[in-house]
Structure 1
Amino acid sequence: MPTLDPLETGDHVCWLVDPEDDFTGTARAFAADGALFGDKVLVIGAPETRWLLGGVAQGTVVDPAVERAAGAGWDAAMMLGVVRREADTACREGFRALRVLARMDRVWPAGASPQEIARHELGLDDLVSSGTAVVVCAYHRDSFHTESIQQASGVHPQQLGMRTLMPDFRMFSAGTDCWKVSGVVDSEGAATFRTALGELVARSATVRLQCEDLDLMDAAGMRALAEVAREDPSRRIVVESANETFRRCWSLLGYDAPQIPVELAP
């Protein structure tokens, strides 16, 4: 997507911010659109003058640095709680939705691992899919390792800023314990896919993967899927709408075995 203008409720965007991007201008315009569409605005970042339009703060501003200095121990889990609480408040107050812009380099000032990002963003995507919020997570490229940026990109349904990075696959919420997988899961993206799937399996007894938009999963991707399933046989992964090529390769690789709790559903 080229801009943040066309966003609707239920959208969850990964904004990859390059040093030369006009972050301030784009962020201010996104916040200002809240008044236009009847959204309550939540900015997670630094409450500096650049967040002001006409001298008026655009909605609620939360500064993780201030919260940490006050001993609040502010982290990504607390961000999720704030978004959930503010979304409920916005609904009660009659707003269309909660409009969130989060500077992730302020949420994780020392950067974050792919595992931390997968855990946080998949949880946030689950919340956003309820249709009560529109959320933009701004990842400044110079604040995160390449692997972390790739993970962030892969677990958002939408992305702004693709000059140097286009994710091979995307995984995002399609309902309770149900996740849509699209694109290509090959040797380059298998580690990212494994991390995301591992986080889902860790919190749900059954995880459904909708794969009708999956173009390809090669041997590396299937191995990642099988390894996650093997790690906890008490969990169950259901792969839905996989094409015939996937099914044939899965069988040829010997993964259709009782010790691998993966079910290929119609």
Structure 2
Amino acid sequence: MSTLDSVEAGDHVCWLVGPDDDFAVTARAFAADGALFGDKVLVIGTPDTRWSLGGAAQGVVLDPVAERAGGSVWDAAALLETVRREADTACRQGFRALRVLARMDRVWPDGASPREIARHELGLDDLVLAGAAVVVCAYHQVGFRPAALDQAVGVHPQQLGTRAEVPGFRMYSAGTDCWSVSGVVDFEGAEAFRTALDALVARSATVRLRCQDLELVDVAGMRALADAARGVPGRRIVVENTDETFRRCWSLLGYDVPQIPVELAP
């Protein structure tokens, strides 16, 4: 994705904001498109004139830093609840969808760990899947550690902006407790993959992974899958659409045993 012009309801985009990107111009265009398509706009970021359209207020503007200064508790959980509430309100008010642009360096002014990012973004993806919202999470590259940025990319279906190295896989919601996994899970991306899986098994007794678009999983990726499955007692991961090579390697590694609660479904 080269610009935000093509985003649609149901999209969840990770925008890696580089030092030369004009954040204000992109934000104004994003809000203008909301007015054009009949969306309600929710901006989570700096509340100044950059967030206005033609000098008039456009939708809802919140600044987490200012909210905290006023005594409110404002974090990633508050962002999730705000998106859920405003999406419901937008539907009742007759808008096509809720259009969200969130500056994540304002949500996490001190940065965030890969685990925090995975837990938050996978939860947000559940909301976006319903089609009642389009959400762009703007991660300023100077405000987050490289591992955190890699994690953010891996748990978004779409990406704007580039980094020298990013995980080769994507994981995003495909239904209730069901997640699509695509790309490549190798040694370089195995840690981010494990972090995302940990976030999923922490919230659901059974997690389904749809892997029809998964090109490759190496030994490190399979180890991450096995460790995540047995990391929380009483959890189970069902892996769908794996090929014969995956199944053979899984068995050769000794993971096809009852002690590892992973089921390879057709």
Please confirm whether the aligned pair reaches a TM-score higher than 0.5, indicating the same fold: yes
Cα distance in 2 for partners of 1:24, 1:174 equals 32
Question: Retained in 2: the 8 A contact 1:233–1:259?
Answer: no
Q: Gapped runs of 5+ residues in structure 2? A: none
Residue identity over aligned pairs, in percent, reads 76
Is the contact between residue 167 and residue 188 of structure 2 (CA under 8 Å) also seen in structure 1?
no
TM-score normalized by the length of structure 2: 0.98
Partner of residue 41, structure 1: 41
Which residue of the partner structure matches residue 225 of structure 1?
225
Equivalent AA in structure 1 for residue 6 of structure 2: P
Distance across 2 between alignment mates of 1:58 and 1:249:
54
Contact 1:206–1:235 under 8 Å retained in 2: yes
Structure 1 ranges of 4+ moved more than 6 A: none
TM-superposed CA distance for 1:233, in Å, is 3.6
The answer for the alignment partner of 1:236 in structure 2 is 236
Q: Specify the code of the residue in structure 2 equivalent to 1:221.
A: G
1:129 matched to 2:129: yes
Equivalenced residue count is 266
Counterpart-to-counterpart distance in 1, 2:116 and 2:150: 13
Alpha-carbon distance, 1:53 to partner: 2.4
Name 1:101's counterpart in structure 2: 101
| Residue range with higher mean Cα deviation, 192-201 or 48-57 | 48-57
Let me know the Cα RMSD of the aligned residues.
Answer: 0.8
Q: 2:50 is matched by which residue type in structure 1?
A: R
Q: CA deviation at 1:69?
A: 1.0
Alignment CA distance shift 1:163-1:192 (3 Å): closer
- The 3-state SS of whatever aligns with 1:54 is coil
Deviation at residue 164 of structure 1 after TM alignment: 2.8
Aligned to 1:255: 255
Report Cα offsets for 1:157-182 as digits up to 9, x if no partner.
00000253443000000000000000
Instruction: Give the Cα–Cα distance (whole angstroms) in 1 for the partners of residues 65 and 190 of structure 2.
Output: 35
> SS in structure 1 opposite 2:171?
strand
8 Å contact 1:237–1:263 — kept in the other structure?
yes
Match of 2:191 in 1: 191
Aligned-partner SS, 2:43: strand
1:90-124 Cα distance to aligned partner (Å, 9 max, x none): 00000000000000000000000000000000000
The Cα of 1:142 is off from its aligned counterpart by: 0.1
**Superposed displacement of residue 57, structure 1:** 1.9
Map residues 119-198 of structure 1 onto 2, 5 A cutoff: 119-162=119-162, 164-198=164-198
Is the CA contact (8 Å cut-off) linking 1:233 and 1:261 kept in structure 2? no
* Matched residue SS, 1:254: coil
Q: Is the 8 A contact 1:233 1:260 kept in 2?
A: no
Q: 2:179 aligns to what SS in structure 1?
A: strand
Give the superposition deviation at 1:243.
Answer: 0.9
Say whether 1:17 aligns with 2:26: no
Query: Which residue number in structure 1 is paired with residue 57 of structure 2?
Result: 57
Q: Note the C-alpha offset of 1:194.
A: 0.2
TM-score, normalised via structure 1 length: 0.98
Match of 1:2 in 2: 2
One-letter amino acid matched to 2:97: A
Mapped partners of 1:233, 1:257: distance in 2: 16
Counterpart code for 2:208:
R
Q: Deviations over 1:106-162 (max 9, x none)?
A: 000000000000000000001100110000000000000000000000000000002
